[in-house]
Amino acid sequence: MDYTDLCTLCSNEESAIEFCLEKGLLFSNICIYCADEMYRNKYNSAKTGFIYYCKTCNKRISPCDSTWFLSNKLSFGQNLKFLHLWASDHSILQKVHHLRLSKRVVNQLHCFREICLWKLSSLEGRIGGPGIFIEIDESYFFKRKNHVGRLLGSSWVFGAVERNDISRAIMIIVPDRKRNTLLPIIQNHIEPGYNGLEEAGYTHLTVCHRRNFVNPQNRDAHTQAIENLWRWAKSRVKTTTTDADHKILRMAEFLWRRRYPNAFENIINHIADSYFD
């Protein structure tokens, strides 16, 4: 759905609510306690204008309970527009200006990034496998602005990416670049078919970065994919924060966008899925 169509939909708050119900962003009329069908009761003080009533359990439930709509004051239409602008990768100032919102609403960005992190964390399996080239490297991230402030934890990030499918990548903040630190990460996240670390069941091809990104002795040994990952990541993950959790959320959003290019539809699905995790 493009932004113009969404604005047409959101011109009516009732239509926006029905869209949220259809997409699973609000809870349906199936009772979470007994699985019976609940009935809508008009309730003006509820954000949706109604609540559910279960005759079997004699319970009243708001469709917004435990959803991301519960804790913010924006209308459903504004929430959906804000979500679409985020998915379209507009800047914070563009979002605030376009919707005439307070800058305080940017706190919702943390909610979206937490969904990105949740989705990536829920993925099963490791990258790589027999015959698949994986490029690994470490890079320095998160510099202090004007050397002011104390960095919490390391600013080094370990990365790995499949050469033929750059959407399959990992980035992990590491305390150092020692072998004892990186080897368990490789073993936990990369299949043993990966070309690296012979004694751990891998075949390792190397490149001297000071001279080139392709090993002239072996054209298969190059780091073009991982260098591309670093270039895009550093252009996107711009932050001077000293908060380690915030750094992780920024990286999660970057990796999520690479894996799920249809961002608006996917973030809606992933928000709905997260309710039942």
**Hey, which of 78-87, 141-150, 223-232 has the most confident mean pLDDT?**
78-87
Domain that includes residue 237, residue range: 127-268
- Shared domain check, 178 and 262: yes
Among candidate residues 68, 91, 114, the one where a domain is terminated: 114
Is residue 275 situated within a structural domain?
no
Same domain, 55 and 24: yes
The pLDDT of residue 202: 44
Alpha-carbon distances of 231 from 56, 127, 196, 226, 227, rounded to whole Å: 57, 21, 23, 9, 6
Do 72 and 146 reside in the same domain of the chain?
Answer: no
- Give yes or no: residues 131 and 53 share one domain: no
For residue 261, is it within any domain?
yes
Q: Is residue 121 part of a domain?
A: no
Q: Is 102 in the same domain as 219?
A: no
**41 pLDDT band (50/70/90 cuts)?**
very high
Question: Measured between alpha carbons, how far is 53 from 153 in angstroms, rounded to an integer?
Answer: 49
Average pLDDT over the chain reads 81
Boundary (domain end) residue, out of 74, 91, 114: 114
pLDDT tens digits for range 232-274: 888 877 765 666 778 888 889 999 999 999 999 999 999 999 9
Domains in the chain, number:
2
Residue 239 lies in a domain: yes
**173 part of a folded domain:** yes
Distance CA 19, CA 210 (A): 54
Say how far apart CA 48 and CA 129 lie, in whole Å: 49
Mean pLDDT to the nearest integer, 113-142: 88
Residue 105's identity, in one-letter code, is V
Same domain, 134 and 238: yes
Q: Which pLDDT value is given to residue 209?
A: 42
**Residue 12 shares a structural domain with residue 53:** yes
Confidence of residue 16 (pLDDT cuts 50, 70, 90): very high
Q: What digits encode the pLDDT tens for the residues 86-127?
A: 999 877 667 777 777 766 666 677 889 999 999 999 988 899
Rounded to two decimals, the pTM is 0.78
**In a shared domain, residues 108 and 134:** no
Q: Is residue 122 part of a domain?
A: no
Burial of 209 (0-12, 13-18, 19+ CB in 10 A): exposed
Residue 38 domain-assigned (yes or no): yes
Shared domain check, 146 and 44: no
> Based on the domain organization, do 159 and 200 belong to the same domain?
yes
Residues 131 and 109 in one domain: no
Residue 139 and residue 245 in one domain: yes
Instruction: Report pLDDT for 225.
Output: 85
Distance CA 173, CA 141 (A): 9
Q: Considering 114, 138, 161, which residue would you say is the last residue of a domain? A: 114
- Whether 273 is in a domain gets the answer no
